[in-house]
Structure 1
Amino acid sequence: MTMTGCGVVGFVTSTPAAAQDRPTVEASVPTKQAVTIYRDPNRAPGDRLNRDNPQGFAMISEVRTVTLPPGESRIRFTGVAEGMVAVSAIVTGLPGGTIEKNRNADLLSPAALVDGTLGNRVRITRTNPGTGEQVSESAVVRTRADGGLVLQTSEGFEPVRCSGLPESLAFERVPAGLSSEPVFSIDTRDASGGTYTVTLSYLAWGFDWEANYVATLAQAGAREDARLRLVSWLTVLNDNGQSFENAELMAVAGTINVESDFEGLAEPPRARPLRLTCYPIGSTAAGSPELNFNPPVPPPAPMALAAPVMQRMRAEADEEIFVTGAMMASEEDLGDLKLYRVPEPVTVSAKGLKQVAFLDRPEVEGRIVYRADHCVPWTPFPSRDNPADFTPATLMLMTKNDAAHGLGAALPLGNMALFEPSPAGNMLVSELDLRDYAVGQDVELDIGESPQVFTQCARLGEREPDAYGTRWMPMRARVTNANPHSVTMRITLGQEAGWDYRFARERLLTKNGTRYVEVQIPANSTTNFDWQMRSTLR
């Protein structure tokens, strides 16, 4: 292996690792894999995937083949996830079970290569920058990679990269136990030996997923009756450095109880760099100049070439909008949770995102409702209309998660992009946050503030509620509707606990501990609604 500075360039030769107490056998690469991803249990509605540090985890199962000699042996599983929680690993299919489990702490890296070669010979090559002449000689590594690398040559002890000449090292072999990929190993025994198919299952840190919804209204305008198409995607994140090719992919929705610190238990293997310390130029006080030998940045592509690239990207994006039934994840019950299974093998790429459709509802029936909040008896109603006293009503998209309304499927936590048709195509009108919605639940989503409907809500009269709850307080809500059509308004009266309400013309409703009424507001009108309330804390 050749190393220039602190970078590994190539191999010279490679020989098997040194024999240990138990013979070591390598398990085959996985012939079948399954990845089940659990989302971050602490992520709340409105929180997005943390792409830099995902807090979810996955259950990974790998089917491999191994040939054991008679007696005890050590099996190495190379290429496991770097976020593997080793204490969770289970290996099935072995006749003698598991004696001991181990997780390799070091990856093949410049520092690990030097440490593993301590006391052994390497070949150092120096290049004359003026003539290009190279001179090589044998040397013995005399220090670890703890800050400076010292070799013993025919001239004595010499630090590497302190002569002012370009230097490279060639290693004869890879030290035993080092691998460029994470390794998990177990010790087992088999009296007769043989070839077996085993399954390695373990938890791994550094995964997460969320649901992304795209809703498109059938027609423009915030009319009460709303029909829309809803397409949903599973967005899966793998922050590990390993890919899982042709894997069965599943995602679990719902909140599970997690007591263990998976992030702390994972302890990813280290790939330690080689840090060389010396001062070949100047003084120790001034330090050494940092020379940049990197190639210059290539110039940007000409505009004539960039345009077709952008057109191709737009075409590819347009193709992604089509949802085929063959690639839609199916929903299954998993106790109180939901499991989404992708019907075909997919590749979960290292350090990558993947999207798979799991829901396509072409005809969802809902309605648009406006909501007036902030109806409290502590503020008197103004005697004159002042535009500054009016508050934009909240626009809500409401439906019921059942088959009658075109849904009838669990809606996992995620975010939604709401589009509305226009002469220029579908236009984004709002981005919404969704919590988990089970089948049968009412779905109420805040779209945003209305520019057409405004409300004013306060107490009539000067007297505030008394401390004994004997006085009924008159309240008023004033609603202005500038739309050319009537709208449904939900007037939030207040909390059910601690208050009594009397509303003469409308039926009082309760939802999640809040009392409210729904009223109709005619087109291009201003309407007053009066009621009474008093405290019950007496």
Structure 2
Amino acid sequence: MHRRALLASAGLLLVPLSARAQQREVSVTIYNSDLALVEDARPLDLKAGRQKLEFKDVSAQIRPETVSLSAPGVTILEQNFDYDLLTPSKLMEKAVGQQVRIVRTNPGDGKETTEVATVLAANEGVVLKIGDRIEVLRDDGVPTRVIFDKVPETLRARPTLSVNVEAASAGPRQAKLSYLTSGLSWKADYVAMFDEAKSALDLQGWITLSNTSGTAFENAKTQLVAGEVNQLSQNNGYRPPRRGTPGVISAGTESGTGERVADYYLYPLPERTTIAANQNKQVGFLSAQGVAAKKVYEVREGWFVSQGEPAKAVVAIQFSNAKLAGLGSQLPAGTMRVYMRDAAGDPKFVGENAIGHTPAGSELSIKIGEAFDVSSQATLVSETKVSKTRSRYEMKYLLRNAKDQPVTVELRQGGLWRDGEVKAESLKSRRIDARTLGWSVPVPANGETTLTFTVETGW
């Protein structure tokens, strides 16, 4: 018995009268991590004293320990959540030890024969005792059906909550139920149309709702929460937070648009919607045109090593979601797909990548692929031990460009530790973060550029 969980379900179905269905007020708040908060307010029509109520269509994945139900003058005495659903296999399992009727139809003349059988087992198959013989029920081409006298009380056609309550008095009253459930989630998807000549992109954002909870939520007020709420893992241990934000070069400092709760952003859908069972639903939530953007070639190295062969540079689209760049909105985590128009003006898909929850004012870099004509090859020229805890590394990068136009390669060198510093360099660097240096390296058309630098770092 799950007392609180069943309370939640009880509130959902406390009005069995279809005439009152239009008065039901359902709100669903959906999180990114397969989690949703269901709030259900509806009228009750009870008699005085003890009574048993059954409520169908509650979420089959309800979390019983999270249920809360309140109704004036009503005391919950006991609740049971029946999630053993009626299926042919379940029906046969419940019939073990009982008698059923087996009806077979002769394919030749269409005559039916009926035998009474006792179900001995229903595990990987059904074993029957018919008279003095033991038989395995199988699909051998002979039309066969099994007739049961009744449906067991423990099997339900839909997830059902039964509740024993004590009502102080008869009459209508308002109940409010809330509970957490799995089986509801959402994700963001972005379509970016990039115009390289104009250094701009048009961005559309779509939200995809997914409902595998086992029930439908009709005409529900729906809002989405962007952010990672902390939850205990299935083994009841602490789940460490994720580190880093995919696609983000630097996090922003602008206040985003929209409503917040705690440190999360809320995205309410503009209209009530029905989230059907086993359904994916898409809703638009962002549209921006002319956002400043550029295509870049990136090379990222995490340590000071030589490469035996040239590596292709990464092709990425960089843009900012700052107000001055034409966007000014936080971006929920999701997948960003980039398109460009060909010579005929038709859009072509050129790549996709994931982004994390991104505050407004951030700088983003969306990897769309690898360059065919731009490469990099690193060489560790020397490694010198300066002291017990410090070393000096002399690096050389050969950047080649087989395109008929010049390009700029954004090179990122990681590996700096405590008190890391640049001792010499052929091109001015900038500090990206505590462990990373960056260079913007121009490479001429059909040519090459060599970048050299020496750094010291300790640990």
Common topology (TM > 0.5): yes
> 1:412 is matched by which residue type in structure 2?
P
For the residue of structure 2 that corresponds to 1:98, the secondary structure is strand
CA spacing shift, 1:228–1:126, aligned 2, 3 Å: closer
Distance 1:64 1:194 in 2: 14
Matched, 1:210 2:187: yes
Q: Provide the residue aligned with 1:508 in structure 2.
A: 430
CA spacing shift, 1:523–1:130, aligned 2, 3 Å: closer
Q: Provide the residue aligned with 1:314 in structure 2.
A: none
CA spacing shift, 1:210–1:92, aligned 2, 3 Å: same
Distance 1:505 1:119 in 2: 84
Alignment match of 2:452 (pick from 500, 505, 530): 530
Q: Provide the residue aligned with 1:84 in structure 2.
A: 62
Distance 1:529 1:168 in 2: 79
Offset from partner CA, 1:434-465 (integer Å, 9 cap, x none):
122111222122232222322233244xx432
CA spacing shift, 1:439–1:184, aligned 2, 3 Å: same
Alignment match of 2:373 (pick from 452, 470, 473): 452
Deviation of 1:421 (Å): 0.5
Deviation of 1:173 (Å): 5.0
Alignment of 1:358-373 (within 5 A): 358-373=285-300
Q: Provide the residue aligned with 2:440 in structure 1.
A: 518
> 2:281 is matched by which residue type in structure 1?
K
CA spacing shift, 1:450–1:71, aligned 2, 3 Å: same
CA contact (8 A) 1:477 1:528 kept: yes
CA contact (8 A) 1:488 1:520 kept: yes
How many equivalent pairs are there? 414
> 1:37 is matched by which residue type in structure 2?
I
In the alignment, structure 1 segments of 5+ residues that lack a partner are 1-23, 41-55, 264-329, 381-387
Deviation of 1:497 (Å): 1.6
Matched, 1:422 2:342: yes
For the residue of structure 2 that corresponds to 1:181, the secondary structure is coil
Distance 1:372 1:117 in 2: 66
CA contact (8 A) 1:458 1:476 kept: yes
Q: Provide the residue aligned with 2:228 in structure 1.
A: 255
Distance 2:191 2:313 in 1: 24
- Root-mean-square deviation (CA), in Å? 3.7
Offset from partner CA, 1:181-219 (integer Å, 9 cap, x none):
010122211122223332332222223322111111124
Offset from partner CA, 1:283-321 (integer Å, 9 cap, x none):
xxxxxxxxxxxxxxxxxxxxxxxxxxxxxxxxxxxxxxx
Distance 1:365 1:81 in 2: 45
Q: Provide the residue aligned with 2:383 in structure 1.
A: 464
Deviation of 1:170 (Å): 4.9
> 1:38 is matched by which residue type in structure 2?
Y
> 1:104 is matched by which residue type in structure 2?
D
Deviation of 1:83 (Å): 1.4
Offset from partner CA, 1:101-160 (integer Å, 9 cap, x none):
2111422344665687899997776655554345779x7x86676454568xxxx78879
CA spacing shift, 1:133–1:340, aligned 2, 3 Å: same
Q: Provide the residue aligned with 1:58 in structure 2.
A: 36
Distance 2:218 2:14 in 1: 23
CA contact (8 A) 1:496 1:510 kept: no
Distance 2:94 2:315 in 1: 66
CA spacing shift, 1:176–1:64, aligned 2, 3 Å: farther
For the residue of structure 1 that corresponds to 2:74, the secondary structure is coil
CA contact (8 A) 1:378 1:464 kept: no
CA contact (8 A) 2:103 2:144 kept: yes
Distance 1:103 1:351 in 2: 21
CA contact (8 A) 2:298 2:316 kept: yes
Deviation of 1:231 (Å): 0.9
Distance 2:209 2:72 in 1: 33
Distance 1:171 1:448 in 2: 60
Distance 1:470 1:106 in 2: 65
Q: Which structure has greater strand proportion? A: 2
Alignment match of 2:271 (pick from 341, 344, 347): 344
CA spacing shift, 1:71–1:112, aligned 2, 3 Å: farther
Q: Provide the residue aligned with 2:319 in structure 1.
A: 399
For the residue of structure 2 that corresponds to 1:403, the secondary structure is coil
Deviation of 1:527 (Å): 2.4
For the residue of structure 2 that corresponds to 1:479, the secondary structure is strand
> 1:514 is matched by which residue type in structure 2?
T
CA contact (8 A) 1:397 1:445 kept: yes
Matched, 1:240 2:213: yes
CA spacing shift, 1:451–1:74, aligned 2, 3 Å: same
Q: Provide the residue aligned with 1:27 in structure 2.
A: 16
> 2:334 is matched by which residue type in structure 1?
G
Deviation of 1:366 (Å): 1.9
Distance 1:175 1:389 in 2: 70
Alignment match of 2:167 (pick from 173, 183, 190): 190
> 1:346 is matched by which residue type in structure 2?
T
CA contact (8 A) 1:68 1:193 kept: yes
CA contact (8 A) 2:401 2:446 kept: yes
Deviation of 1:228 (Å): 0.4
Alignment of 1:89-100 (within 5 A): 89-100=67-78
In the alignment, structure 2 segments of 5+ residues that lack a partner are 1-12, 237-256
> 2:16 is matched by which residue type in structure 1?
A
Matched, 1:443 2:357: no
Task: State the structure with more CA Rg.
Answer: 1
Identity of aligned residues (%): 28
Distance 2:154 2:303 in 1: 71
Alignment of 1:486-505 (within 5 A): 486-498=406-418, 499-502=420-423, 503=425, 505=427
CA contact (8 A) 1:96 1:188 kept: yes
Deviation of 1:79 (Å): 0.9
For the residue of structure 1 that corresponds to 2:110, the secondary structure is coil
Between 1:428-437 and 1:195-204, the stretch displaced more is 195-204
For the residue of structure 2 that corresponds to 1:84, the secondary structure is coil
Offset from partner CA, 1:250-291 (integer Å, 9 cap, x none):
22211111126499xxxxxxxxxxxxxxxxxxxxxxxxxxxx
TM-score by length of 1: 0.66
CA contact (8 A) 2:383 2:394 kept: no
Alignment match of 1:410 (pick from 321, 330, 340): 330
Q: Provide the residue aligned with 1:181 in structure 2.
A: 158
> 1:398 is matched by which residue type in structure 2?
Q
